[in-house]
Structure 1
Amino acid sequence: MLDLNSELKQLVKCCQLHKARQMFDKMPHRDEVSWTTIIAGYVNSSDPFEALILFLNLWIQPGLQKDQFMISVALKACALGMNIYFGKSLHGFSVKSSLVDSVFVSSSLVDMYMKVGKVEHGCKVFEEMETRNVVSWTSIIAGLVHGGYSMKAIHTQTIKQGFDESLFVINTLASMYNKCGKPSYVMRLFQKMRMPDVVSWTTLITTYVQMGEEENAVDAFRRMRKSGVSANQYTFAAVISACANLVVKEWGQQIHGHVLHLDIISWSTIIAVYSQAGYAKEAFDYLSWMRREGPKPNEFALASLLSVSGSMALLEPGKQVHAHVLCIGLDHEAMVHSALISMYSKCGSLKEASKIFDGTKTNDIISWTAMINGYAEHGCSQKAIHLFEKIPSIGLKPDYVTFIGVLTACSHAGLVDQGFHYFMSMIDEYRISPSKEHYGCMIDVLCRAGRLSEAELMIRSMPFCSDDVVWSTLLRACRVHGDVDRGRRAAEKILSLDPNSAGTHITLANIYAAKGRWEEVAYIRKLMKSKGVIKEPGWSWINVNDHLHSFVSADQSHLQSEDIIAILKLLSSRRGDSLLETCSSEDVED
């Protein structure tokens, strides 16, 4: 039994929950450890629904003792799933069985009540605890902050109880002050820490970024590395955000001067910074330099380069990164594998993306999502939907990004009913709360189908403040379908958020022009002139001999403009028309 439980724990620890569940279901005998392990696996995988179903099955099993660890895990599932009713039942059982006296159970109760918004219940459990640990204090602080309670009162209580020396509690307090916009308090707490950990440093770096002090954020990152503390994904997210701002300010040259002293993490961070900021050339330059002078590139750096290659449609540089990935054997890393699929998809090479996807030896939802999104973006809606429908059969569960892909596919194919089916299954079956992006997809589904009144109703009934993105979707649809009144309402909403939106003014004027309402057109043009609203030209680019050329409409700034125009004239004569003439259109302004 011990060996089986050890193997089960290892599978759960390695995030192979599907295999763990298969093993669990085939076990001839399951003890308390087996049940707690598999339930904890589902909790850690953010699947509280399945965790609680398993716990109910455990409950009716004869001869099994419900101990403090088992109840604590079930309470975590209740907190994650916002299941107050089940949580209260567990609370009652804990009192009857005296398990509530365990600091593990009582702390989990506090955490559960705070996360479901029952602050009074959480405080009552906390006050009745005979002993309180770091977890209980952290839970109560975080819950009270979320409930809008006084920061000073919370901090005072931690000092009175002697918990101000605990690093966990101090980190929670620092995070509290950071989220509430009190950076000076974060600094003071950090200075009092004897041995800051990664959470402490990350909070400090994030605070500097929020204050606009990017140099201090990067300096804090350096000091953290010197102190021997290893960065995590949240640290990198914070420092990359700082560096991206500094790159825009041409601060990147300062990094360049210290490049020979960088380690693998620093190299990867710099490449990611340039990639995220859209500096493709600089990112690839650093990759070349890294290969000559530094350590071997890791999956983080390569995935960043593949991302910028895809976003800028740089197929050849993307292929070069792919070749390097194959050389160092990182093609089966989930992060790189999904980035390759995404890069080829965004560059229009769906055949190559499909080949990479089909050749994978392991299944992960990130790669499946990348392929679904690739098909959806290129109008291959049925392929995207077919792939989405296969996900449950291989033991995976779609995440919120996967649903964006399949909803986009439904939008492009005009599948309104099927789109709503997926939208509701996301909520009811997978317990995923729709984000603005999901609502945006559904609004696009309705707009493309010409169901503009339903689209407007959905925008107004969203559980979020509607932004200019969804209203712009409706405005464009109103232009296509000639809905003047609704278009005017959409434009008014956009202009209340962004008064100088040139595109909105122009689209509304075009709606009026299509209906021959020239007085309104003249008014819009006059309004744009009085506000000084000018439409920024759209940039295009083309890669020639590994050199990126960018240009705008009627641009003659290129050194070879005369040669380019001569070639265009030659092509025009062969086509029998003029590529250089402005196309006639009903648009007020292109």
Structure 2
Amino acid sequence: MRFFLNLKVSYSLSRLSFGRTSSSSSLKTQLNQQTISQKTFFKSNNKDSLISRLCENKNFKEAIDILCEQKRLREAVQLLDQIERPSVSVYSNLIQLCLQHRALEEGKKVHAHTKASGFVPGVFICNRFLDMYVKCGSLWHAQKMFDEMGEKDLCSWNTMISGYAKVGKLEQARNLFNEMPERDNFSWTAMISGYVRHDQPKEALELYRRMLRHENSKSNKFTISSALAASAAIPTLSTGKEIHGHIMRIGLDSDEVVWSALSDMYAKCGSIEEARCIFDKMVDRDVVSWTAMIHRYFEDGRREEGFAFFSELMRSGIRPNEFTFAGVLNACADHAAEDLGKQVHGYMTRIGFDPISFAASALVHMYSKCGNIENAKRVFNGMPQPDLVSWTSLIVGYAQNGQPNEALKFFELLLKSGTQPDRITFVGVLSACTHAGLIDKGIEYFHSIKEKHGLTHTADHYACIIDLLARAGRFVEAEDIINKMPMKPDKFLWASLLGGCRIHGNLELAKRAAEALFEIEPENPATYVTLANIYATAGMWSEVAKVRKAMDDKRVVKKPGLSWIEIQRKVHIFLVGDKSHPKSYEIHNFLGKLSKRIREEGYVPDTNFVLHDVEEEQKEQNLSYHSEKLAVAFGIISTPPGTPIKVFKNLRTCVDCHTAIKFISKIVQRRIIVRDSNRFHSFENGSCSCGDYW
């Protein structure tokens, strides 16, 4: 380094000397004195060793500075024929470091130096430059160099094909693939995997079949895995089975990568049993294989088997990783399985999980979705640097659990933390405003998405703002936004508008929203039921009959309302008027007594949304045994006094049940949580966390 400093000082002095007014003889003397030492240095190979040492110490920018300084010095003192050029190994080391650091600009400097110094790179150095340009994201420079290369080998072609294929420029990749004089397994695999990666599985399989017909090509584990991924993406089980047979014939049936891809193919083609069979045959089952198999069960909707398989993993002695935990916790969130989620949390705590991992974020998400916002916040507070997923999960959790002001408070904290919100975060924020009835605040946040945060409004954002305005009865503003939307309104927006029309009895706009929904999803019974409810409230029974006839004509069946509750790790499911439960007599008897007591407290049945044009007494009878009331009653008689009760429902809870459960919570002195398809309702001492605004 001392020499490098002397060299720079010497060069600087020479520039100062050239800049002064001096006699030609003194200038010549300075030049001669300077060049004597420079010749000695450059001919002694000290330069190469210094650059090499800098490369070994990862100081590649300083090494490139020396290279560039030498170039400028050569030009200044005109010693092009006397100074030795850097060796091939020096260039190779510099290129490798530029690649490792993804330092494109420095790589260009090295390339420029080879040209300026007159160095003629062979195919080895050219391929290094190609690889560096491709991996630094400059395909233009790579293609330019490729075109200028006098000699190209198989590696040159493969580098370019792989580079284009990885970024989705498949036409350019295929053109090069077709032009190349010879191909190896890497060539075929790069092209096939490129098609798979960019959602062209049919082209991938077509090329794979062509490869099998090629005399000099043999499948390896990477080609096979890509072909299996293509079969899974279509999905085509018959093709997957053909590839399975080929695997057995060529002797790749002992490779773990191939077995994993094969298991994944069977699962995605709907044959989970075959996937499990493949998994059981694997000799070296690592945590990745286990995690993938657990995920396959959850993807296939086989929750219990997925959880059981996770328990089997924990007994196997293999330690789950953060992806395993995240997958299981997300499944717990989707199925509201908080008890199992708590067990997973306990296991994570015992083995010492990373508080900044995916798993920590999944914990916040799980507790939020299960209605335990206190635990969600506790986990969140234990994270040294919460990521955006955790912030968003907590914000959405507070919004859905009837604490919109807390949701907005945490959103402001998110902004102060320097974390940039994304589109999903704003869905939570707008939902919080909707649940709290904060109309003007919601509109302000809606406009800030684009104006302040530079994000694009999504269909979900529009659905949220229409929901906000429609619930408040501000239909003129809602229609104005719909008319100015840059995209076509989706089913969620029209459903939000229809829901607002139900609240405020806006018949004309309800018809428009319903007609739009009938076009988008004519088989969805929710639209028919909501429209019929609106007509029923208005006493328009002939219109109700027309809606019911339309459902019959189109064979649309109303989705039955289901409610369930977990007691001592067993799930109990109830339908409206259900008498199939072993404790049906006790449930109905207790519910009858409760009905009398809540009437004494002031409860009046809300029969506005009972569809049948029957006597009022019959309407009240129909309401008395809704599924959520049966589940709540069962929960009360099956648990000790004071125990909180948590009920889940697949549909939105009705107004009458909502009112009745408020009274029940006061009479039995219990906290009753009902999670419907829309949000959580926490009933306590006669009131609900939603503030009767849902």
TM-score, normalisation: structure 2: 0.58
CA contact (8 A) 2:333 2:365 kept: yes
What is the CA distance between 1:325 and its match in structure 2? 1.1
What is the SS of the residue equivalent to 1:296?
coil
Q: How does 1:191-340 map to 2 (within 5 A)?
A: 191=212, 201-202=225-226, 204-213=228-237, 216=240, 226-227=254-255, 229=257, 239=264, 242-243=267-268, 245-247=270-272, 254=277, 262-330=285-353, 332-340=355-363
Aligned length: 488
The answer for the alignment partner of 1:347 in structure 2 is 370
Q: Distance in 2 between matches of 1:470 and 1:214?
A: 41
Identity percentage of aligned residues: 29
Per-residue CA deviations over 1:47-71 (Å, capped at 9, x if unaligned) read xxxxxxxxxxxxxxxxxxxxx999x
CA contact (8 A) 1:240 1:272 kept: no
What is the SS of the residue equivalent to 1:543?
strand
> Which AA in structure 2 matches 1:160?
E
CA contact (8 A) 2:533 2:609 kept: yes
Q: Distance in 2 between matches of 1:364 and 1:296?
A: 25
> Which AA in structure 1 matches 2:209?
R
Q: Distance in 1 between matches of 2:321 and 2:133?
A: 43
Q: Distance in 1 between matches of 2:526 and 2:539?
A: 20
Corresponding residue to 1:158 among 153, 177, 187: 177
Q: How does 1:419-568 map to 2 (within 5 A)?
A: 419-427=442-450, 430-459=453-482, 461-568=484-591
What is the CA distance between 1:487 and its match in structure 2? 1.6
Q: Distance in 1 between matches of 2:449 and 2:221?
A: 37
Per-residue CA deviations over 1:313-339 (Å, capped at 9, x if unaligned) read 222222111111111111525211112
What is the CA distance between 1:290 and its match in structure 2? 2.0
What is the SS of the residue equivalent to 2:319?
coil
Q: Distance in 2 between matches of 1:293 and 1:140?
A: 43
Whose Rg is larger?
2
> Which AA in structure 1 matches 2:233?
V
What is the CA distance between 1:387 and its match in structure 2? 1.8
Are 2:203 and 1:185 equivalent residues in the alignment? no
Q: Distance in 2 between matches of 1:450 and 1:264?
A: 53
Question: RCO (CA 8 Å, sep 6+): is it higher in 1 or 2?
Answer: 2
What is the CA distance between 1:557 and its match in structure 2? 2.4
CA contact (8 A) 2:469 2:477 kept: yes
Q: How does 1:10-159 map to 2 (within 5 A)?
A: 129-130=147-148, 137=161, 155-159=174-178
> Which AA in structure 1 matches 2:177?
T
Q: Distance in 2 between matches of 1:394 and 1:516?
A: 54
CA contact (8 A) 1:110 1:136 kept: no
CA contact (8 A) 1:318 1:343 kept: yes
Q: Distance in 2 between matches of 1:230 and 1:387?
A: 46
Unaligned runs of 5+ in 1: 2-30, 37-67, 76-89, 113-121
What is the CA distance between 1:535 and its match in structure 2? 0.2
**1:202–1:477 Cα change, 3 Å:** farther
CA contact (8 A) 1:206 1:217 kept: no
Q: Distance in 2 between matches of 1:420 and 1:484?
A: 25
What is the SS of the residue equivalent to 2:556?
coil
The answer for the alignment partner of 2:430 in structure 1 is 407
Q: Distance in 1 between matches of 2:509 and 2:452?
A: 35
The answer for the alignment partner of 1:60 in structure 2 is none
What is the SS of the residue equivalent to 1:550?
strand
**1:402–1:199 Cα change, 3 Å:** farther
Per-residue CA deviations over 1:419-469 (Å, capped at 9, x if unaligned) read 454445444555544443333333333333433344445456545454322
> Which AA in structure 1 matches 2:576?
S
Q: Distance in 1 between matches of 2:605 and 2:276?
A: 42
> Which AA in structure 1 matches 2:432?
A
Q: Distance in 2 between matches of 1:144 and 1:361?
A: 38
Unaligned runs of 5+ in 2: 2-58, 65-97, 117-125, 150-155, 613-653, 655-694
The answer for the alignment partner of 2:690 in structure 1 is none
Q: Distance in 1 between matches of 2:168 and 2:345?
A: 49
CA contact (8 A) 1:322 1:340 kept: yes
CA contact (8 A) 1:106 1:126 kept: no
Per-residue CA deviations over 1:326-371 (Å, capped at 9, x if unaligned) read 1111152521111211222222221121111112223322222221
The answer for the alignment partner of 2:692 in structure 1 is none
Corresponding residue to 2:191 among 148, 170, 190: 170
